[in-house]
Amino acid sequence: MAKLIDGKTIAKDIRTQIKKEIEELKQKYSTFKPHLSIIQVGEREDSTVYVRQKERAAKEAGIEFTLHKKADSITENELLTSIRELNDNPSIHGFLVQLPLPSHINKKKVTETISPKKDVDGFHAINLGNLAKRDCEALFLPCTPKGIIELLKRSDIEIARKNAVVIGRSDIVGFPVFTLLSRNDATVTLCHSKTENLPEIVKTADILIVAIGKAEFVKGDWIKPGAVVIDVGTNAIKDPSKQSGTRWVGDVEFSSASTVASYISPVPGGVGPMTVAMLLQNTLESAKRFLQEARNRNFSLLSLKLLSPVPSDIDIASAQIPKFIKTLAEELGLAPNEYDLYGQYKAKVNLSVLERLKSRKDGKYIVITGITPTPLGEGKSTTTMGIAQALGAHLGKPTFACVRQPSQGPTFGIKGGAAGGGYSQVIPMDEFNLHLTGDIHAVVAANNLLAAAIDARMFHEKTQSDRALFNRLCPAKNGVRSFAPVMFKRLQKLGINKTNPDDLTSEEVQNFVRLDIDPDTITWQRVIDTSDRFLRKITIGQNPTEKDQTRVTGFDIAVASECMAVLALSTSLADMRERLGRMVVASSFDKGEGIKSITADDLGVGGALTVLMKDAIKPNLMQTLEGTPVFVHAGPFANIAHGNSSILADKIALKLVGIDEGEDREESGYVVTEAGFGADIGMEKFFNIKCRISGLIPDAVVLVATVRALKMHGGGPDVVPGKPLPEVYLKENLEMLEKGCENLIKHIQNAKMFGLPVIVAINHFITDSPAETELICKKAIEAGAEYAVPSSHWEFGGKGALELAKSIVKVTNSSTESTKEKFKFLYDLNKSIEEKIEVIAKEMYGADGIQLNDKAKEKIQRYTDQGFAKLPICMAKTHLSLSHDPTLKAVPKGFTVPIRDIRASVGAGFLYPLLGEMQTMPGLPTRPCFYDVDLDTETGRVYGLF
């Protein structure tokens, strides 16, 4: 008699091994949760039985299981949509659609819609095709064929050099088994119901696999004595002796075959249990593959073709062919539902990534700042890109650069683009500098909707009675009044706890509908993303229909809008909604009850603003010239706002380059984020505003300096955009440079006040002499910098910033969590408004003190009365000097900072004192950059951006 191949026992052993491996992996990685999902269409009894078996087996093995039951009437499109949802769900590692399906649904289309990466049944054409190709490996083997091979191997049955016959050519069993036996070096014959002389062919088989779907089709006298028989069939035949009236038999006549064969698999209890065990094994392998891919983060890189002299920025950017952003997203481990493509080279990343990766430890966090710059800028963006390229493309560290989106103001005005420069840029450079994904347009739309709401509300309050206003704000629909959801915020502010508009008293109605906005207190202006000096002050309401409601107002550049500052400082969509709603736009007339602040939610527009900006909150994914990832997000003005890219971009990037349990901290990647203007502005606001809200603490500060700027601080002539540099900046002058290093030393001292290590990056120009570079390094180290490194990333890309990147690695690898514990804010939020302003002026700028004019004093009192005194301070001052006066270079002494006004960005979450005259709407120079910008109408290529 043949020896039974006990599939039940073997499957049980395999399931035990799977359970043990899952438990071990869960101990090492707490987030490791293999997840199997099944879609079952209809209520077929046999399908329900099979699904229950799989569910029970999965749960016993420690695999999470989800069943999605669909009605028989489901349309094909609805089913395909459900499949795509599971494809996109990163928590699902494998799923299948239980067969058979209703006749109106195309099985092939269903099978091909399942992602090959989650096709644990192994039925997808890609997996079957790769199985058939000798030089390819399928991600998944079909469960039954895989189980058959496992049965043979675990029964110590040799496959190599044996003659094997497979009866049945289905994609589910016959064809894959034929291929697997061949791969295991058997000589295989594939037969089917129409094969001639089948008994004679079967007689040649050392190993016989039967999957033809016909009860007891193969007889014992067909079988070669001593052959191994694997019976895949499951057929119900009538049997009055059974209580059910039927019994299950295979495709082989067991009674006769078992007397000839050496081994035989029974039915039931042979192949069936192995199919379920292999499904669990495929699910486990898929979960392990997803885990490994998330940990690997291997980026394909782009090589640079370095030219000398270095071409223009746009020529360099146009010569590089970016990789598809979908490829980069996959390299980052993003699931398809975690990003939205905006063309081939841009994508928005969804905030859901933060929830999925919440248990991952953040990567290392580096903030890039600079000394007090010349009007040309000193290359912080270029340095940011160079460092990111060096860390990512040359040192192999997972690295993200995070930068702001540039405004069209400087792009077409004085500075030009802000994508970096030379061989250290974001690409595509033209898309980066222009509309990108429309975030700035969304800010413009939201800002101007709020501006329109302010003037419209004043108009309607002026021209209508309380009752008329109330009837229009809360109209009766089918005889029933109701409050819009946003109105409850206004009611709560007034202390009215009623939910039915008809229950309000006349006094409550008046308080509810009358905002009584004092036009002289309106701080909200309209915005446009173009430098246009003639919009700085305008008169509105001149048409007769506005009933003489004219007032003087103006336009700001779009990135100066508080909506943009809110976007950058929001930590979630819900947080952005709250911040937009609480933006203060004006104050009410004082009627003896105190002046009340008027918010966007008082105007009922907070929700609409959020709707306009709901996509803008998602960071924009791009890449550097060398193919490393970049987040471009938000663009708050660096003078009146905080001048940093978004918290959400930094948070998501830190998770994407972070480490999981069991990984060494040295394996974590880097997020290189840039703070606008010099360290006295961008860095100070980064720490005291952005870090307070985000809760993030950097590992190090990189301070960018140039010989050019330091010579200017040492007494060099003015640097004027559009004019050639004076000769002193092109020749060695150590005396002037040493004097100017005072500015560098002050900025190093400022950074050290926050308790973090400082690395000085000397952005190298070809006119810099070795002696000049050596002098800066010496002064920087003496001032307390850990390293001072010249970097030629503009000329050589990441390769040129390699030593700078290595210094960052050294500093961050030697630091520990205790290093971050040394971090401290510059001031306590509980200090008075005046005290906080004074601390910044004295400590950061080196001032003797501050001088508040009467308007600033009145604002301090008002904001204190209104409960805004504990907000951080965002100083609005010139970026061209440590002081408030742009003509004072190096490290000014003996000066007092005049505070002419203080304004509130309550939604963003700060107060901003105005130091001197601050323009929130730039003007165009005599020769704007737009003279050079044009389009090749034949190729569609943009040129002239720089």
Asked if residue 518 has pLDDT above 70, the reply is yes
Cis peptide before 636 (omega within 30 of 0): no
The residues, ordered by sequence, that sit 6+ positions from 156 with a Cβ below 8 Å of its Cβ are none
- Across residues 691-718, what is the average pLDDT? 96
Binned at pLDDT 50, 70 and 90, residue 639 comes out as confident
Domain co-membership, 625 together with 702: yes
Asked if residue 418 has pLDDT above 80, the reply is no
Is residue 299 assigned to a domain? no
pLDDT of res. 592: 62
Domain co-membership, 269 together with 252: yes
Is residue 922 assigned to a domain? no
- Across residues 148-156, what is the average pLDDT? 96
Give tens-digit pLDDT for 817-854.
666 788 999 999 999 999 999 999 999 999 999 999 99
**Catalytic residue of the set 54, 346, 489, 779:** 54
pLDDT of res. 817: 62
Is residue 248 assigned to a domain? yes
Q: Centre a 10 Å sphere on the Cβ of residue 505 and count the other Cβ atoms it contains.
A: 10
Domain co-membership, 467 together with 325: no
Query: How confident is the prediction for the chain on average, in pLDDT?
Result: 94
Question: Last residue of a domain, which of 613, 630, 657?
Answer: 613
Give tens-digit pLDDT for 238-288.
888 887 788 889 999 999 999 999 999 999 999 999 999 999 999 999 999
At 41 the three-state DSSP class reads: strand
pLDDT of res. 68: 97
Asked if residue 637 has pLDDT above 90, the reply is no
Q: Which residue has the tokens 């696999």?
A: 209
DSSP state of 127: H
Per the model's pLDDT, the better-predicted residue between 910 and 297 turns out to be 910
**Distance (Å, rounded) from C-alpha 258 to C-alpha 266?**
9
Chain centroid to CA 66: 27
- Across residues 851-863, what is the average pLDDT? 95
How is residue 704 written in tokens? 């960018």
CATH number at residue 547: 3.30.1510.10
Give tens-digit pLDDT for 794-811.
999 999 999 999 999 999
pLDDT of res. 371: 98
Asked if residue 714 has pLDDT above 90, the reply is yes
Asked if residue 883 has pLDDT above 80, the reply is yes
Domain co-membership, 646 together with 791: yes
Alpha helices, H only, 657-690: 684-685
Domain co-membership, 95 together with 210: yes
- Across residues 475-483, what is the average pLDDT? 92
Domain co-membership, 50 together with 117: yes
Full domain range(s) for residue 773: 313-437+615-822
**Distance (Å, rounded) from C-alpha 363 to C-alpha 717?**
43
Q: How many helices (H) and strands (E) does the chain have?
A: 34, 35
* Choice among 32-36, 717-721, 830-834, 933-937 with the minimum mean pLDDT: 933-937
54 is catalytic: yes
Binned at pLDDT 50, 70 and 90, residue 415 comes out as low
E strands, 44-127, are 64-70, 94-97
Domain co-membership, 72 together with 220: yes
Domain co-membership, 551 together with 500: yes
At 586 the three-state DSSP class reads: strand
Task: Please list the helix, strand and coil fractions of the chain in percent, rounded to the nearest 5, in that order.
Answer: 40, 15, 45
Binned at pLDDT 50, 70 and 90, residue 638 comes out as confident
pLDDT of res. 357: 92
pLDDT of res. 409: 76
Is residue 594 assigned to a domain? yes
Which H helix or E strand runs over 403? Answer: strand 399-403
Is residue 931 assigned to a domain? no
pLDDT of res. 700: 96
Domain co-membership, 96 together with 18: yes
Is residue 294 assigned to a domain? no
Domain co-membership, 694 together with 560: no
pLDDT of res. 816: 61
* Choice among 124-138, 368-382, 836-850, 910-924 with the minimum mean pLDDT: 910-924
Binned at pLDDT 50, 70 and 90, residue 134 comes out as confident
Cis peptide before 428 (omega within 30 of 0): yes
Q: Quick one: 306 exposed, middle or buried, by C-beta within 10 A (0-12, 13-18, 19+)?
A: middle
pTM of the model: 0.90
Share of the chain above pLDDT 70, in %: 99
pLDDT of res. 893: 96
pLDDT of res. 392: 97
CATH number at residue 856: 3.10.410.10
- The total of structural domains in the chain comes to 4
pLDDT of res. 106: 96
Give tens-digit pLDDT for 300-352.
999 999 999 999 998 999 999 999 999 999 999 998 899 999 999 999 999 99
Binned at pLDDT 50, 70 and 90, residue 51 comes out as very high
Question: Last residue of a domain, which of 576, 594, 613?
Answer: 613
pLDDT of res. 286: 97
Is residue 304 assigned to a domain? no
**Distance (Å, rounded) from C-alpha 913 to C-alpha 874?**
7
Give tens-digit pLDDT for 428-443.
999 998 899 999 999 9
Question: Last residue of a domain, which of 822, 848, 868?
Answer: 822
Q: Which residue has the tokens 């990766």?
A: 357
Is residue 943 assigned to a domain? no
Contact assessment for residue 706 and residue 688, using Cβ atoms and an 8 Å cutoff? no
Give tens-digit pLDDT for 207-222.
999 999 999 999 999 9
> What per-residue string of b and e applies to 336-373 under the rule 16 or more CB within 10 Å gives b?
bebbbebeebbbbbbbebbebbeebebbbbbbbbbbbb
Beta bridge partners of 190: 166
pLDDT of res. 815: 65
Give tens-digit pLDDT for 160-198.
999 999 999 998 999 999 999 999 999 999 999 889 999
At 876 the three-state DSSP class reads: strand
Domain co-membership, 317 together with 280: no
Binned at pLDDT 50, 70 and 90, residue 232 comes out as very high
Give tens-digit pLDDT for 346-382.
999 999 999 999 989 999 999 999 999 998 889 999 9
Domain co-membership, 765 together with 902: no
Nearest Cα neighbor of 676 from 413, 889, 415 is: 415
- Across residues 918-946, what is the average pLDDT? 80
Q: Centre a 10 Å sphere on the Cβ of residue 469 and count the other Cβ atoms it contains.
A: 19
The residues, ordered by sequence, that sit 6+ positions from 347 with a Cβ below 8 Å of its Cβ are 325, 326, 329, 339, 340, 341, 620, 621
